[in-house]
Chains A and B, each alone.
Chain A
Amino acid sequence: MAAPTMDRSTAAAPASPVQTLTISKALNMGLRAAMEANPKVIMMGEDIGKLGGVFRITDGLQKDFGEQRVLDTPLAESGIIGTAVGLAIRGYRPVCEIQFDGFIFPGFDQIVSQVAKLHYRTQGKIKLPIVIRVPFGGGIGAVEHHSESPESYFAHTAGLKVVSCSNPADAYWMIQQAIDSDDPVLFFEPKRRYYEKGEVDTTAQPGKLFESRVLRSGTDATLVAYGPMVRTSLDAANAAAEDGTSLEVIDLRTLSPLDLAPVYDSVRRTGRLIVVSEAPSESSISSEIAAKVQQECFYSLQAPVLRVTGFDTPYPPSKLEEEFLPDLDRVLHAVDRSLAW
């Protein structure tokens, strides 16, 4: 579809507050809105200025806000994160783009040692309102290091908050809420869903950032997913409905802190839980959910918590990623196993 023109005059007064947008465009509009709302919001990253980012998420922002607010940085991730720390101390609200998931590791030291800990070290005297945007996950036929799901490393680190959007409306609102947060937020964007469309009401009152959401009600089993696997889970629920199985689908949205109250509530009704994630399963978000649900819903469970995830291997050559990544059939297979337990 023809996305609305991003000329600032039209963006300020759109013909209708409800627009059909891609996740990519919704993120772009969300970033723009955040920059308009607060002059201290700046963007930092590789190729995000003139090029607009390799996924064009920051398209047009440097042109409109200038090179001092949209920084084409030198090519080093530790440098991006480490200087964002100093800028945040100076009063800025940096939004860092990590070009691809697998490139975040040169910045891992700064994220874990400084971004996550300075508020604690200084007992609140330093706040770091930094957002680190990470296009993540596979399914785009890419070379190595371009398809990974590293979110668990960051959810495991105290002091960081971690979220993931799954649809355009959340993309638009969650990125602005993450920028508003006084805590550092890792913002995982489902890169293979960037061009999926949905309705965005730019005047609606958004839900809270750190809350999970039930996207589809059901009675027989619960699917929990986040980011790119939300679409897969919704597709699975549609397919299951045709066979008479009613699946509840919950979009986790926040990975740290986890908001599992809706999950507990759901599992107490359905008695069955399947967690769907692209990330390897060992010591992951999915294992954390399994552990907590068995603790909180022990007497409600009719079957063990099952997980449908990427395998515990490095991300494979892309010709094998269809086998590696959870898909509709693997999710339905897990549903069948759970129901048959």
Chain B
Amino acid sequence: MSSPEQWTHPEPDAAPAATAAKPTAEQVIAGLRATDEGGADLVQLLTPEGERVTHPDFDIDITAEELRGLYRDMVLIRRVDREANALQRKGQLGIWVPLLGQEAAQIGAGRAMRQTDMAFPSYREHGIAWTRGINPTELLGIFRGTDQGTWDPVEKRFHPYTIVIGNQVLNAAGYAMGQKFDGKVGDDEGEATMCFFGDGATSQGDVHEGFVWAAVYDAPLVFFCQNNQWAISEPTERQSRLPLYQRARGYGFPGIRVDGNDVLATLAVTKWALDECRHGNGPILIEAFTYRMDAHTTSDDPTRYRLSDELEMWKLKDPIERVKVYLVRQQWADHEFFESVEADADKLGEELREFCTNMPDPPAERIFSNVYAEGSPVLDAQRDEFLDYVSGFAGGEH
């Protein structure tokens, strides 16, 4: 396993001339672009065809049971995603944010975390939520408009979904600084934080500032960027000329690009990064190279800005299919297993539909509740006046 120093501290007298390992800036600009897959730079352990390959720096011992677990996670969260998408189409949700195609990136990263680690999601992190023990039903209220996320972020160590692009990166940096100030960093029992954001977010000032803060305070923070190629309608090349993982170098910490459709590689790289962080060698940037196979949200129409060819190409790199092929080829799973996972998915989908269609609307008092920890007499008066007004309609026609 290579040490972070190889990314963090380039030789001061290193000549600018190109070497096989290190292209010049000019070569980078002329050659590898943000949207290129990256060839040798891409960490991959399971090819799209389901072939197990090795990587000189990253590998992972995985048992049949563990891999079956990852497969099951991905199938179930994909079902959650498809069900929720359908619930929006039936008018049960106001909007849905599909994760289709990003299952390996999220399950791999999420399963790399320990219970004591903290996660700061953006709003497409349904797979991460799953790995943190959040019941998928708890995601529905956000998109149905009954609540803004009901899980306990402290107990689950999973921050609320953050909708303003990039805000959570700074919040995560602060939390990770706190882990360090608390003396929870420095050995194998150490804590770490993961922060999730997308390719579009990398243009935000808050992401830049989060990189700076985490770096200068040596925060135990793994920046996990899911480059799904599209920020609504804008391709990654609208956000960056350089491959995103290479930005880390400018901030003085390692940046690694992993095949985000490869759950094994994502798990291996994220585990490594979290361990480095918990030992005090953070922060680290991981760019998970993946693809948003569905629309940005159910309100979006990708046919206006991207070719269906592209989607067809990425379908060949499906994160779930390659695991299935490998499980079968290794004889690590039989027909019965796949049937049972499908049955679990059916059951989960049914629970989701049942739950969603029976969600009650919140009461009017909810407008005013918990604006402040210690209350406000001005707001109390406004609430009382409104509730008094509402009560005037009680029992009668509006």
Contact = CB atoms under 8 A, between A and B. Distances in A.
Contact of A125 (B152, B164, B374): B152
A78 B175 contact: no
A87 B181 CA distance: 10
Interface string B19-47: 00000000000000000000000000000
B206 interface: yes
B174 A90 contact: yes
Nearest to B182: A90
A124 B376 CA distance: 14
A91 interface: yes
A181 B216 CA distance: 30
B164 A87 contact: no
A257 B376 contact: yes
A294 interface: no
A78 B153 contact: no
A44 to B, nearest CB: 9
A119 B171 contact: no
Nearest to A158: B371
A74 interface: yes
Contacts of A86: 120, 170-178
Contacts of B5: none
Contact of A257 (B175, B178, B206, B378): B378
B373 A83 contact: no
A20 B178 CA distance: 37
B373 A85 contact: no
B164 A83 contact: no
A87 B177 contact: yes
A127 interface: yes
A214 to B, nearest CB: 18
Interface stretch (B207-215, B291-299, B330-338): B207-215
B179 interface: yes
B377 interface: yes
A90 B179 contact: yes
A84 B160 contact: no
Given A86-B177, A90-B174, A90-B175, A122 B374 contact: no
A91 B118 CA distance: 14
Contact of A79 (B159, B164, B178, B210): B210
Contacts of B308: none
B205 interface: yes
A114 to B, nearest CB: 6
B379 interface: yes
B4 interface: no
Given A76-B209, A159-B371, A183-B374, A125 B153 contact: yes
Contact of B148 (A42, A89, A121): A121
B373 A127 contact: yes
Nearest to A160: B372
Contact of B153 (A114, A126, A129): A126
A145 B27 CA distance: 43
Interface string B189-231: 0000000000000000110011011001000000000000000
Contact of B167 (A90, A92, A113): A113
Given A85-B174, A91-B178, A78 B160 contact: no
Contacts of A113: 164, 167
B377 A257 contact: yes
A74 B171 CA distance: 15
How many of chain B's residues touch chain A, expressed as a range?
A: 35 or more
B54 interface: no
A175 to B, nearest CB: 17
Interface string B68-108: 00000000000000000000000000000000000000000
A161 interface: yes
Given A82-B170, A82-B206, A118 B160 contact: yes
A265 interface: no
A92 B212 CA distance: 21
B186 interface: no
B154 interface: yes
A336 interface: no
Given A78-B205, A83-B170, A114-B171, A89 B159 contact: yes
A182 B371 CA distance: 12
Contacts of B357: none
Contacts of B153: 89, 122, 125-126
Given A87-B175, A90-B179, A121-B149, A78 B213 contact: no
Contact of B370 (A91, A110, A123, A161): A123
Nearest to B205: A78
A259 B216 CA distance: 43
Contact of B174 (A76, A84, A181): A84
Contacts of A79: 170, 173, 206, 209-210, 212-213
Contact of B213 (A74, A119, A122, A127): A74
B282 to A, nearest CB: 14
B135 interface: no
Nearest to B164: A113
Given A74-B212, A121-B149, A121-B160, A182 B374 contact: yes
A68 B218 CA distance: 13
List of 8 A-B pairs having minimum Cβ-Cβ separation, nearest first = A86-B174, A82-B170, A90-B178, A83-B174, A86-B175, A79-B209, A182-B373, A257-B378
24 contacts: A74-B209, A74-B212, A79-B170, A79-B212, A82-B167, A83-B213, A89-B159, A89-B174, A90-B175, A92-B181, A109-B206, A110-B206, A113-B164, A114-B162, A121-B148, A123-B370, A124-B370, A126-B153, A126-B154, A158-B371, A181-B374, A182-B373, A256-B378, A257-B377
Interface of A: 42, 68, 73-74, 76, 78-79, 81-92, 106, 109-110, 113-114, 118-127, 129, 158-159, 161, 181-183, 256-259
Given A74-B216, A122-B370, 17 more contacts: A78-B206, A79-B212, A82-B170, A83-B171, A87-B181, A89-B154, A89-B178, A90-B182, A109-B164, A113-B167, A114-B162, A114-B171, A119-B372, A161-B372, A182-B373, A182-B374, A257-B379
